[in-house]
A = this chain, B = another copy of it.
C-alpha cells in the first residue's frame, strides 16, 4: 500500500470517521466504528447503534426519519470524555450498524424489518447492548417484539420517559406512534404492570387513556410529581420495582418528554415538560442498572430544531446513558 500523494488534504472518507493517531481528544465519530463486509469479532462489541429512520407512522407530520443522520452529524462535536464523571466512553467498543432500509409506501413491511433487526442482533451478538435512534415511537413496539422473539422466555419491562401514555386505540390508528405501549400490552409482549412512565404532564392525554392505564396496572409519575420527589428518586424507585419483576428492562426515551422551551423539535412539543438536566440524570441512572439491556430515542424532528439544540440533547442522552453503563 502506497501513501496518498496529498499530505495536505483531508479525504472525504474521513469526514464521518476521522480516525486520528492521537488518542487524546477523541471525538465520538472517531470512536464509534463502522463496519465493512469483514465480519468483526462481534463478541467484543459492547454497544451497537442502529438508525431507524421511520416517521411515516406518525400521527402528525414528522421528519424524525432524518434524526439518525442528524445525530451522527452533531456527535462529531462531542468528545468521549465525560468531565463531570471522570469517565471515558472510549473504554467501550461501539459500532454504528447503519439504518434499517425503508420501504417507501409499505409501513408494515418496514415494521417487520425493524423487528427482525433486533432479533438478529440478539442472535449474532447477544452480549451487545442495542441503542436505537428513531424514527417515531411506533418502532419501540417493533424492537421489543423482536427482542421477545429472540428471548421468548424472558419477561420484559419498560421504563418510558414520555409526555404521552402512547396507549391510544390500536383499532383506530394501527401500530402508529400513539399506540406502541398498548400494542405491546394487547399483543401480550409485555404486561401493563411492567411499564413505568415518567414525565406525563399537562393537557396532552385524554382521560380514557389514564383509565386504561389504571385498568392494566401501568405505573406512572407525572412531571409535577417527579419534580417534587426528585428525578433521581423516582427513576431509582421505578428501576428497583421493575428489577424485582422482570428479566430485562427496555428504556424508551420519547424526546417530546422535554419542555417545548428546551426542545422545539418534537413533532408534538408541549409546555410543562421535563428539562434536559433532569432527562440526562434519569438516563444515566438507567444506564447504571444491569437489567437495562436496550434503549431507544424517538420522536425528534431535526427540521424543527433550532441551532441543533434538540439533536445535541439527544446525543447527550445517548452518551449519558453510556456513562451510566460504564459505571455498572
A residues within 8 Å of B by Cβ? Answer: 1-6, 8-17, 24-26, 28, 34-39, 50-51, 55-59, 61, 63, 65-66, 69, 72, 77-84, 86, 88-89, 96-101, 103-108, 113, 116-117, 120, 124, 138, 168, 173-176, 178, 200-210, 222-224, 259-265, 268-272, 276-277, 280, 303-304, 306-309, 312-313, 316, 319
Contacts and interface: CB of A to CB of B under 8 A. Distances in A.
Contact of A55 (B39, B61, B108): B61
Given A39-B2, A105-B57, A272-B276, A260 B206 contact: no
Given A9-B101, A117-B8, A307 B269 contact: yes
A157 B299 CA distance: 42
A298 B36 CA distance: 36
A280 B202 CA distance: 10
Contact of A12 (B34, B61, B201): B34
Contacts of A223: 84
Most chain B CB neighbours (cut-off 10 Å) among A13, A55, A261: A261
Copies in the complex: 6
A236 B79 CA distance: 31
Given A203-B28, A208-B25, A11 B98 contact: yes
A12 B72 contact: yes
Given A5-B120, A6-B97, A16-B16, 7 more contacts: A1-B37, A3-B37, A10-B101, A11-B98, A61-B66, A79-B206, A104-B176
Nearest to A5: B124
Contacts of A72: 12
A78 B6 contact: no
